[in-house]
Amino acid sequence: MSDSNTKAKMSPAGKRQADVLLHVKQNGTATIGGLAERFSVSEMTVRRILHRLSDLNLVIRTPGGAMVAPSGSMERTFVERSQRMSAAKNALGRAAASLVQDGETVVLDSGTTTQCIARHLAGRTNLVVVTASLAVLEELGGSAGIQVQLTGGTYRRISHDLCGGAVSETLNDIYADRVFFGAAALSFHKGAMNFDREMPKTILQAGKQKVLAIDSSKIGCEAVYRFCPIEECDLVITDRGVKPADLQELRKRTRVMVAE
């Protein structure tokens, strides 16, 4: 069946959504205002369409619009990402948690790897954990010895966390013992990278020690947005699947821990 016949059978709302998706794909990026003018609809309607397309992993939301990620690099849903490299992420979580001492304050980024760190912190005592991740909150909510401080922000379903200016505002007021964060990719040319443009860079100033926890499948890859150079990480924790050449290159840039 041709695309024209398929569109003819769509509802007006479905056809508009397909047209918006096609426009974004053809142009690479699009603004909310531009889409509203192009399709003669309100900006609120465009926002609803982009929200649906984002939930379907067909576009990546950007401030004021949307973009198409490079082929094969579209951000996966939180559940899909949690299932990928699960054994490695569990090892990373155990290794990262072993660094945390009772009495410390730590910041945990949102993500499936930091969720594993939280899992291995559960049951510890006299800890303060600051996070925008509802997955981290779920892991630690039942631990009587851990005080979880949740940032403000807007709930984002695809990553099960909070986002927006309130996250940065909270992190601006924090100076923890350690900050643990993840990344979608680690490029030797561009550093830690993400698909999420809204990931607050204020997290890098929110603690004395900045620890990147990243599984070996992401090393030597690239995502869409640069986050920080490798040299800004005080420590990189990865798993034993890391390639020897990658490990050697990483150790030229910063300290590395290989989780067993």
Q: 165-182: per-residue pLDDT in tens?
A: 999 999 999 999 999 999
Give the per-residue pLDDT at 77: 57
Mean of pLDDT values over 35-42: 92
Alpha helix positions (H), the chain: 3-8, 12-27, 32-39, 43-55, 78-83, 86-98, 112-121, 134-140, 165-172, 244-253
- Contact between 224 and 199 (Cβ < 8 Å): no
Residue 254 tokens read as: 């910063």
- 222 burial via Cβ count (<10 Å: 0-12, 13-18, 19+): middle
Mean pLDDT of the chain: 86
Residue 190 tokens read as: 């561009």
48-103 pLDDT, tens per residue?
Answer: 898 888 766 677 777 678 887 554 444 455 555 555 667 889 999 999 999 999 99
By C-alpha distance, which of 6, 30, 8, 33 is closest to 20? 30
By C-alpha distance, which of 246, 232, 240, 181 is closest to 215? 240
- Output the furthest CA–CA distance in the chain (Å, rounded): 64
Q: Residue 219 carries which side chain, given as an amino acid letter?
A: I
Give the per-residue pLDDT at 67: 80
CA-to-CA distance for 44 and 191, rounded, in angstroms?
A: 36
The gap between the terminal CA atoms of the chain, to the nearest Å, is: 52
CA-to-CA distance for 54 and 116, rounded, in angstroms?
A: 25
Reported in sequence order, the residue ranges of 113-234 that DSSP labels E, i.e. its strands, are: 127-131, 146-150, 154-156, 161-163, 176-181, 185-187, 191-194, 207-213, 225-228
Give the per-residue pLDDT at 10: 60
Give the per-residue pLDDT at 13: 76
By C-alpha distance, which of 86, 89, 140 is closest to 118? 140
Range with the poorest average pLDDT among 7-16, 68-77, 110-119: 68-77
Higher pLDDT, 156 or 10: 156
Residue with tokens 């309100």: 42
3-state secondary structure of 122: coil
Sign of the CA dihedral running 54, 57, 62, 68: negative
Range with the poorest average pLDDT among 6-20, 82-96, 126-140, 163-177: 6-20
Please state the separation of Cα 6 from the chain's center in Å.
35
Q: Phi, psi (5° rounding) for residue 151? A: -70, 165
Q: Please report the domains of the chain, with CATH numbers, ordered by start residue.
A: 3-67 (1.10.10.10), 79-259 (3.40.50.1360)
224-247 pLDDT, tens per residue?
Answer: 889 999 999 999 999 999 999 999
CA-to-CA distance for 168 and 255, rounded, in angstroms?
A: 27
